[in-house]
Structure 1
Amino acid sequence: MKLRIFYDSLCPLCDAEMQHIKSLDSHDNIELQDLNQDDFCVKFPEIDFALANKILHAQRADGSLITGLDVTYEAWAAVGKEKWVSLLRCSLVKPLADRGYLFFAKHRYRISYLLTGKKRCETGTCYR
């Protein structure tokens, strides 16, 4: 495992992106951990649940934590598709992209509803 991603499976867009990335993960580089699992805080006491629910978190194999679009970039890089998101990490774009991500994260259920017709996944996951 190169990257353990802590994500919100109740968000339709979040769940779809994580499942898509995982479907491309032929070398098992990514481990997905749902923030909504019953024993999350017991299994991962080092992760601040409230903060992870506001901004995407991931843990690298060395134990270091990353957040936001850095997680997105490293996840896509772990499956060999970083070119799709590398522009978001360029020095001129990064500050704007990070602000945009924070807006998305804060309003992810509303945005999901506008794009998918689903505001929240009631069964725990949208597509599985």
Structure 2
Amino acid sequence: MSNSTSSYPLTLYFDGSCPLCLSEMTNLRWRDAAEQLRFVDVSVPGFASPLEGVSVADLMTLMHARTADGRVFIGVAAFELAYAAAGLHQIAAAIGWRGWRWALERLYPFIARHRQRVPKAVVNLVFGKALRSAAQQATERRCDATSCAYPVPLTRPEAGLESSTSPMIPSPINTPSRSAP
């Protein structure tokens, strides 16, 4: 898979009503130091697909990504580009391994079909450590001697969580250790 500069920014179309999807997109967002990713929650009421020939139902079925030059990638190929953009090159490379990719391309549609059934406890088990690590890395990258800019987690307003389209929220440093609030 080519990771040319015409691929970025890469827009990811994801199901924000899915805890598994939301956790993975949050993980990618926090790791996206080069700010090469854009995130679009296709589950919001009234959403209309911006991709020609791709319905909202299609976007809700499998992950889609659109490159800066307009190419569309679906499923495993979309994740491969997203991981590369977020600096997770080892994961992106592993996805590209012939035997592994063959398996992932058969497994991903099954996982996508049943993603809403994955218990939140399992999502936290799978992504909890990754999200904490990503948040720490993001904090360290975006802090200086006087302030920090923390990534805004992708959230769901109907769940009572504030949502923001801003990629960063400026926040003063409260402790010398620069730990996240």
Q: Which has the higher contact order (CA 8 A, sep 6+)?
A: 1
Moved more, 85-94 or 6-15: 85-94
Partner of 2:147: none
Coordinate RMSD, CA, aligned? 2.5
TM superposition shift of 1:88: 2.3
Q: 1:4 aligns with which of 8, 11, 25?
A: 11
**Contact 2:76/2:108, CA 8 A, preserved across alignment:** yes
Consecutive unaligned residues in structure 2, runs of 5 or more: 1-7, 125-155, 164-181
Partner of 2:139: none
Question: Is residue 44 from structure 1 mapped to residue 50 from structure 2 by the alignment?
Answer: yes
Change (3 A) 1:81 1:45: closer
Percent identical across equivalent pairs? 24
* Partner Cα separation in structure 1 for residue 84 and residue 97 of structure 2: 15
**Contact 2:83/2:89, CA 8 A, preserved across alignment:** yes
**Contact 1:30/1:75, CA 8 A, preserved across alignment:** yes
Q: 2:110 aligns with which of 103, 106, 114?
A: 103
TM superposition shift of 1:116: 3.9
TM superposition shift of 1:110: 1.0
* Partner Cα separation in structure 1 for residue 161 and residue 103 of structure 2: 29
Equivalent residue letter for 1:22: R
Q: 2:95 aligns with which of 55, 79, 88?
A: 88
Partner of 2:143: none
Deviations 1:51-110 (A, max 9, x none): 111110010001010010111111110021121242222112212111111110000011
Question: Is residue 59 from structure 1 mapped to residue 62 from structure 2 by the alignment?
Answer: no
Partner of 1:18: 25
Partner of 2:79: 72
Equivalent residue letter for 2:85: A
